[in-house]
Amino acid sequence: MPLTVKRLGNLIGAELIGLDLTQSLDEATVAEVRRAWLDNLVLVIRGQDITPAQHVAFSERLGDPERGNALSHYNHPEHAEILMVTNHMINGKPSETRNTGRQWHSDLSYTLRPPMGSILHAREIPEVGGDTMFSNMYAAYETLSPAMQAFLDPLQAVHDFMNSKDMARRDPVTVEAMKQRTPPVAQPVVRVHPETGRRALYVHEAATTHIEGLTPEESRAILDFLFRHCETHEHIYRHRWQLHDIVMWDNRCVSHIALFDYSHSSPRHMLRTTLIGTPSGSVRSRGTPADLRAVAAG
């Protein structure tokens, strides 16, 4: 069956119709999926009642899935490539991944190899809510004035997973272990997409702490402006999940947020693979605000 691409938003999001991920895909179909993904940034494939092994197999056709990450005790027991984003109980405790992604972010932007994409499979969805919103970060860049673009183009901003509000709700022992393993990383404020060559804004409320070379006050003001700019309604696709949806997004040009518009008494169980990206950024040390002031002063 030929594939159909049905746009879901003006600037971002499309549904791919005609795929059956229980079957293996030929090279031409994989190339079509990849083309549609690059063009639409977020792809939705409905009705895919696939096993975790089939999810991994599909992911491997598009890239190289990460195996295990900082939250490895939330990886699928038989497939280290799969992170369980779930409000199920895990080992007798509520899963720490139940509040994953409550602020705008690009997955793992605070690492030296931020993922190119993520592929999420809805295995259980709440009766209402549990939506995810995706913002087009090319559009965020392209709608800035040329003067603002020229100002931002050479800048670097520091990303630190400790910045996320979610950390306060996590087990302090796990957080401390992650902190040791995951130093902050400076990333370009404007990233050039390695496949399309287009420029995209790459600052995210959950992780970006400050812009290097500016005073803390300047940095805060610019970041606050950019974070609000990325939330421009016209740049956003809001996904209302159906059971067995697959949604895949390009982390290099998309920011996303998982809305807490449901109750944890309603199960929400999603499985995510994360495709390794190209190297980007350089390590920084974790500083106090006073250190940052010194850095800004030169």
Residues 100 and 258 sit within 8 Å (Cβ to Cβ)? yes
How many whole angstroms separate alpha carbon 87 and alpha carbon 157?
32
Residues 104 and 257 sit within 8 Å (Cβ to Cβ)? yes
Closest CA to 35 of 62, 65, 2, 1: 62
Strand-pair category, 14-17 with 42-45? parallel
Considering the rule CB under 6 A, would residue 132 count as an interface residue with ligand SIN?
Answer: yes
Considering the rule CB under 6 A, would residue 121 count as an interface residue with ligand SIN?
Answer: no
Please identify which residue in 118, 164, 187, 219 interacts with ligand SIN, judged by CB under 6 A: 118
Mark residues 229-268: x for contact with ligand SIN by CB under 6 A, - for none: ---------------------------x-x----------
How many whole angstroms separate alpha carbon 284 and alpha carbon 177?
18
Comparing CB distances to ligand SIN, the nearer of 158 and 270 is 270
Token look-up 């401390």 returns: 176
Token look-up 């709440």 returns: 126
Mark residues 87-116: x for contact with ligand SIN by CB under 6 A, - for none: -------------xx-----x---------
Comparing CB distances to ligand SIN, the nearer of 132 and 219 is 132
Considering the rule CB under 6 A, would residue 270 count as an interface residue with ligand SIN?
Answer: yes
The residues that are catalytic are 105, 107, 256, 272
Considering the rule CB under 6 A, would residue 272 count as an interface residue with ligand SIN?
Answer: yes
Comparing CB distances to ligand SIN, the nearer of 200 and 247 is 247
How many whole angstroms separate alpha carbon 101 and alpha carbon 107?
9
Residues forming contacts to ligand SIN in the complex (CB under 6 A) are 85, 100-101, 107, 118, 120, 132, 256, 258, 270, 272
